[in-house]
Structure formats: C-alpha cells, structure tokens
A and B are shown apart, each in its own frame.
Chain A
Amino acid sequence: MRLEPITDPSIARRLGFPFAALCTTFLIASLLAMIAGGNPFSVLGLILKGAFGSQFAILETLNRATPLIFTGLAVAVAFRAKFWNIGAEAQLYAGALLTVLLGTGALPWPSAALLPVLAVAAILAGAVLLLGPAILKTRFGVDEVVTTLLFNFIFLLFISMLLEGPLKDPMGMGWPKSERLIAEARLPRIAEGLRLHWGFGLAILSAVMIWIIQTRSTLGYEMRAVGLNRQAAAFAGIPVNRVLLKTALLSGGLAALAGFSEVAGVKASLTLDLSPGYGYTGIIVAMLALLNPLGVVVAALFVAGIFVGADSMSRAADVPTYLADMMLAIALLLMVLAIMLTRFRIVRD
C-alpha cells in the first residue's frame, strides 16, 4: 500500500473526507459512550440536545464559541503565514488584564466611549505580547513555538502574582480574583433577556474582517505568500520580516479580544480560571477550519457544541464529560487524516 499525490483534488474529495471524518468521530464517540456505560444513541442525542436542543442550549453554545472564535482566528492568521503562535492563552490573559486594569473604575466614562477603549487596549496588549517572540524570530531565528509556548506559563504565573497581590479584590473574601468591572465596562446583551453578549457579534465581525483582509488586501496576499514560500516571497520583494511582525500583531490582538470578551461579557472579573485552555483549543479550532477564517466560526461552534452538550449529557446520562475532550481529540486526528486523504490517494499493490 502506498500514497500517491493527487495534483488537483475534486471538490467531492475535498468535502467528502472531512465530512466522513466527522461521522467517524461520532461513531467512535458512541462506542466510547457505550464503554462508559451509557446507551450510545441516547448519549449522542443528549450531546446534540444539550448543545443545540433549546434556545438556552444554543445561546450557551454561542457564548462558549465566542472566545474560541477569537483564539481560532488568532491561530489561523498566524499559521497561514507559517508563524507558529502557540501563545494565544497568554495573549488572552493579556487582553483580560488590560480590560480589568482600565475597566474597574480607572476610566469613569460611559459605555460608548469606554468599551472601544478597552477593546483597543486589549488588542494592543496581546499584540505587544507576541511582538517579543516575533522579533526574536525575525532577528535571531529563535523558534517561536518554544518562546510562545513557554511564555504561556510565565504569563499565567505573572497573572497569578498580580491576583495574589496588587490586583487582589479587597472584598474578595481572600480569593485570588480582581475587582469587578464597573457597569459601563460590561458588554451589553445582544437582545434583552437573552444570555448572549455582544462579544459574539464582535467575534463574527472579526472573522469576516479577517476573511476580507486575507482575500482582498495586500497584507493578506503577503501573509499567504510568506506562508507558502518564504524564499520566493523574499525574491519578489515582499518584506518577509515586516510581514511576520504584522502577522504577529494581528494574531496577538485577536487572541487578546477573547480575554476582553470573556471578562467584559461574562465573568466581569479576572480569575486564573478565566480560560479553560481556550488558547490551546484555538489551535484545534483553526486546524479543523483548515485555517479558513469563516471556517473558524463553524469549527468553534462545533467544538463549543461538544463541550456544552457533553456537560449537559453527563448530568443526564452519568457519562463523564471527558468524553468531550476525547471527541475533540478524535475529531482532530481524523481531520488531519482526512486532509491527507484529500491530497493523496491510497494505491494497493
């Protein structure tokens, strides 16, 4: 058995294999559910119902998808230029930190003025955070996978230090959490009475904007060229290092918006459990979306749906929520396989 490259895969092939990967994911998940003692059909049904079965469930899924869209976009933008940003988690907390620093009363402004300032401050914080690894890479050739990944731990410890010290809420009963945002710094709900805040709208808007930038702007063209062939890009006169720095700024800013949106839209204060690994899950989201910014929205909804659905399923069927993590891992592995199968065909000897 061998692999033979396909020079020009058909649309059916490019869509069929990823779809088959998703179906297989659900099949394996039901087997796992069965092993865990549940009825495979009811478990899958419960996940679906928990994720999309009611207005409440759908809104919960959309809420959960919001930070994943931001981190997914951050990763997709960077990976497109072959800039391996594994540090979306730290950039998310940088955005959250700035939101809390400026949103807890430091700027006593009305919402219309305060929220844009908070968002921009968050973006700048995330961008600056990623600028360091980007400069190390372009100047000295330091591998950004190592720097961004390790910086996550440093930055989380730094946040922890702040929450135990200067940022600690004096009214927090000793918990390591910041003060709450003032009311003007909270993102409003999209509709009265619905548990969905405007962070979701901002996420969708960001995805569309990134898509437009990638397909229509010279910067998007440059980022794709640098990602596909750095040598040819440099020969053609594309300033490769400058493009990588711009990519880093954009990627870091997007990841930071996840932190802004979670604090201003949901939690209202900064704690160390603000993100259950949204920065890392963003990598899965971006890969599932094949780095397409609009695909990121769909992939984020899929991933969020599995998490939310598994939560509610585990309450009803007594199957552990870890099933969600396994499903994601399986989906990612199968998707990688599916992508390979769209580009190669298996030939039997």
Chain B
Amino acid sequence: MNTTAVEALRLEGITKRFGALTANDAVSLSLNKGEVVALLGENGAGKTTLMNILFGQYAADSGTVHVFGKPLPSGNSRAALDAGVGMVHQHFTLADNLTVQENITLGAEPLLRIRADRQGARQRILDLSEKYHLQVSPDARVGTLTVGERQRVEILKALYRDVRILILDEPTAVLTPQEADDLFATLRLAIADGLSIIFISHKLHEVMAIADRVVVLRHGKVTGGVATKDTDKAALAAMMMGTQAQPPKVAAAMPGAVLLQLDQVCTPDQGSAPGLKSVSLALKAGQIIGLAGVSGNGQAALADVVGGTAKPTAGTLTLNGDDRLDWTPRIAVQSGIARIPEDRHKTGTIADFDLTENAILERYTAPDFSKSGWLNWRAARDFANAIITKYDVRCPGPDTPIRLLSGGNMQKLILGRTLEAAPQVILANQPVRGLDIGAVHYVHSQLLAARARGAAVLLISEDLDEVMALSDVIHVISDGRLSPGFARGELTPAQLGLWMAGQGFEDEMKHAS
C-alpha cells in the first residue's frame, strides 16, 4: 500500500432494514485502489446484504456509495457494472447449458448484433486466462466443469468486463486447499494490476493471508477495523464473535465394534464425477473417520451409498453384521444412520416448509409422528420445539419457514433432527461449509459428543484442517479410490496433499503387485 492511495470505493452510512430486522446499521467502509479489504462476520452479520447493496441488487434505505469519487445510483446493478464493480457470488450465477465463452460474454456484449466478434472475444478470454493463470477452455460447457473451474469462469467474467472493484463472497467455501492457493495467486496478480478487492470469508487464515485490512461486522454494525499486519487469528476471531472462541478439545478415541462395513463397493461414474472403485471401509463405534479429498473425487458417491440414495452396482454394505440388500434413505434412517447432507438448502431442507415440517422430514412415518397415514402435528411441533431449545436454533418459532433462517441455524435444525434419534452411524458431509466459527465449533462439538456416546462418524470434508482436527482415522479419496487409513497425526498436510492428488495410490498399487 502506498501513502498516496486513490480511494476506489467509499460506502457511507448504509442502512438497510428488512421488516423488523436491521441488516445494515449505518455501515461505512472504504477501499483503496489495489487494496484487499476482508469483510469478516458471523452468518447473519449483514455482509452479504452490504455487498448486494453495493452491487445494486438491493436499494439501501439510507447512505451513499461512491466509486472512484462518483456517486453510484442506489439499487441499479447496471450502473454498478458500468462503474467497474463486479461480484462473484457464493452460489455461482452461470448458465450450465452455455459454453465458458458464452457465459463470459453474456451481458457484456450487445445481445442482438448481426455479426458478433466471437474470435476477438475468444482471444481476449485466452489472453486473460493466461495472464492470470485461470486455466479453463472457452469451449467447455459450464455444466461439465468442476466447482473450481466454475469459479475461474466467474472471475474471468469479471476481468473480461474490466472490473476495478471485485467483490468475492466466500470464494473458498467450495475449493480445495490447492485450488484456494491458486485463487490467491490469481488475485495477487490482479491486485498488482490495480484491482481492488472486497473479500468475504469465515476462514481466518485466508483473511490473514490475502487481506491488507479487515473490517468486522456484527449484528449489522461495523465493530472493528484493523490492518492484518497488526493483528492475529485469535484476535480476529474474538472481534468477530464478541467473545474469545474456543475450538472443541479432542480426546483420544476408543473404537469399538464395526457398525457399518462397506466391502468392495462400486458405483457407476456420474458425468465427470467418478464412481466408487472397489471401496472398502469400516465404521467403528466411538470413532470419527475423516474422508479427505479434492472435490468431485467420489465423495458424493460414497455419501449416496451410505445414506441410501444410491445403490452399489457391486460389493456389499453390512450393518451390524447383516448384509443390507434393500437400502433406501428411509431404511437407512430407520436403521440408525444420521445423515447431514452436503447441501442444506437444496437437499437438507425444504425452504418453504416451516421448522416443524422440516424437523419430521425424515421420520414423518414413524409412530411418534403419524398413525395409519394421519400426522400428529402436536407431536411434530413438540419435537421441533425440543430441537429449537436443545440445539439453540435461533428463530421466531416452529412455524417460521426455514428459508428465513441463517445457514448455521438451518444446520442446527438438521443436526437436531438426526441426532435426537440417537443414531449409531453419522454421515456428516461437509457439515460446516459456509458456517461461521461459532456454528462450526458447535457442529464439531456435537459430532464429538456423538462419538463419545459410541456413534461411528464418517466425516467428509474438503477442509483439510477440519478433517485433521477431528478425525481419529483419515482416508483419502481420489478418483473414486480409497487410500488406506492413517491414524491421527501420522500424516502431515503436505503428505495428505500428495495422496489427494492421487500420487500415493500408484505406490500402493506397486506394493500390491
């Protein structure tokens, strides 16, 4: 940062209310040219609302936005785009059925023109992707790309429009550590060229790594601003939470009997995602097994087999020593498998159902909640209320549509409804993705508590820190194959990274032959 910095962006006194909720309360923020400011805050602190106002998707109730000294009309995305503001959303906004090039030029070029300059556009995309190390083919259909590649398309889309201010909303939530490092390398190149970045994240080490300055939001208000060189992770966590946050302590495990056993399980490939290739895995009572791996290497297939949404084409699944041939989601739940799905918005809950209806989603046929086809709403409501109290779900009440809840509270409801059935096996697929630190610690402590009472936990995560912190045994999954298990502390992150890239498997196969 130089001292004669040009102010790229100034937000002043932004206030936005949704009914009784004040999402942003007189928030002010400035950003210099070539600077990275991290916006830090718990879920529901108002980060995304603030960025949506800046990007013109919401109109602020009061307050002003200046971009390079010029006022920006409120609530006008087109004006924001024209002023050089770009945004990469947490949930990508790409058209799956179009190619990379079409996605990038969509909206940037006039829609109706006799002869579009496709060749020129293509060349520009290739130049940009080379310059910023954003490897992606312009002709690939977006639907076939991995999450990491899709994000590269989103960033290319912004760079193609010559954005001068880029907003990144939780950009690493869906990336592997290597992909996140690549992203940071790209961002550093762009910053060197004068791009200013607002970086929204929960991950403190990333904030420390990439940001010049951190602005902390809590309950819609700015509660602190500090340069990263003057602070550390613990201090940031404290600013964000209001209190010093403590990760749960992990004691050594005493594994018991094998509860769920997969033997030589195979599943077909799903498009670009590989199926399972002869996977064997034993989940033992009182043990957390962590599954590390780069996104899209068969984690989803494994979760589907364990959770009952897919059947293996070969191999067996054994629960408590019994072969389970007829394995559906309902049978899995009835057999004591708790499932925390990867996507709590799309598969875990039904957005327009209220908390009560969502609480009984997996078990509405159980005698507790229905008799001969008629639901007992009183029991269902009591169940929802019990979860709300016991798992500290913050909500107006059991009749609230679940879409009004923050991600963390949604996840607490999912945890509550599965853990209340005292499951013997817990399948936790990306259980803390996109959650704030408070919620992360809560979810982790619940998983550890379940382990302590003798449940077997399968933790699937792309967050290596999470896997290494919680797991008693770590397996790596790569291209549908499962590595041998490593006990806690046996492997360093670097060694795990090699396995995740598929390298350990070759040695393993040589030993075998």
Q: Whose C-beta in chain B lies nearest to the C-beta of A229?
A: B350
| Shortest beta-carbon distance from B183 to chain A in Å | 28
B333 touches A349 (CB 8 A): no
A221 touches B357 (CB 8 A): yes
| Shortest beta-carbon distance from A320 to chain B in Å | 41
**In the complex, A112 has a CB within 8 A of chain B:** no
Q: Which range holds the interface residue count of chain B?
A: 35 or more
**In the complex, A33 has a CB within 8 A of chain B:** no
Which of these, A4, A216, A231, contacts B347 with CB under 8 Å?
Answer: A231
With a cutoff of 8 Å between Cβ atoms, the chain A residues found around residue B328 in the complex are 237
Q: Which of B286-315 contact A (CB under 8 A)?
A: 307-309
Q: Whose C-beta in chain A lies nearest to the C-beta of B309?
A: A235
B362 touches A8 (CB 8 A): no
Instruction: State A269–B364 Cα separation when bound (angstroms).
Output: 46
With a cutoff of 8 Å between Cβ atoms, the chain A residues found around residue B373 in the complex are 217-219
**In the complex, B68 has a CB within 8 A of chain A:** no
Which of these, B73, B361, B374, B401, contacts A236 with CB under 8 Å?
Answer: B361
Instruction: State A229–B19 Cα separation when bound (angstroms).
Output: 27
Q: Whose C-beta in chain A lies nearest to the C-beta of B369?
A: A218
**In the complex, A2 has a CB within 8 A of chain B:** yes
Q: A217-B374, A229-B346 are in contact. Are A236 and B362 (CB under 8 A)?
A: yes
With a cutoff of 8 Å between Cβ atoms, the chain A residues found around residue B180 in the complex are none
| Shortest beta-carbon distance from A3 to chain B in Å | 11
Instruction: State A171–B351 Cα separation when bound (angstroms).
Output: 60
Which of these, A218, A232, A234, A347, contacts B370 with CB under 8 Å?
Answer: A218
B75 touches A232 (CB 8 A): no
| Shortest beta-carbon distance from B347 to chain A in Å | 4
Instruction: State A90–B390 Cα separation when bound (angstroms).
Output: 53
Task: Provide the A212-224 mask, 1 if CB < 8 A to any CB of B, else 0.
Answer: 0000111101001
B74 touches A349 (CB 8 A): yes
Q: Whose C-beta in chain A lies nearest to the C-beta of B352?
A: A228
B365 touches A235 (CB 8 A): no
**In the complex, B264 has a CB within 8 A of chain A:** no
B353 touches A235 (CB 8 A): no
Instruction: State A349–B80 Cα separation when bound (angstroms).
Output: 13
With a cutoff of 8 Å between Cβ atoms, the chain B residues found around residue A231 in the complex are 346-347
A232 touches B73 (CB 8 A): no
A237 touches B349 (CB 8 A): no
Q: Whose C-beta in chain A lies nearest to the C-beta of B344?
A: A232
Instruction: State A232–B76 Cα separation when bound (angstroms).
Output: 34
Instruction: State A228–B339 Cα separation when bound (angstroms).
Output: 21
Given contacts A235-B341, A235-B348, A237-B362, 5 further A-B contacts (CB under 8 A): A229-B350, A232-B346, A235-B309, A236-B362, A239-B330
Please give the residue numbers on chain A whose beta carbons come within 8 Å of chain B beta carbons, in ascending order: 2, 4, 7-8, 216-219, 221, 224-225, 228-229, 231-237, 239, 347, 349
Please give the residue numbers on chain B whose beta carbons come within 8 Å of chain A beta carbons, in ascending order: 18-19, 58-59, 73-76, 307-309, 328-330, 332-333, 339, 341, 346-353, 357, 361-362, 364-365, 370, 373-375, 377, 401, 403-404
17 cross-chain CB contacts under 8 A: A2-B76, A7-B403, A8-B19, A217-B374, A217-B375, A218-B375, A225-B353, A225-B361, A228-B352, A232-B361, A235-B307, A235-B309, A235-B341, A237-B330, A237-B333, A347-B59, A349-B75
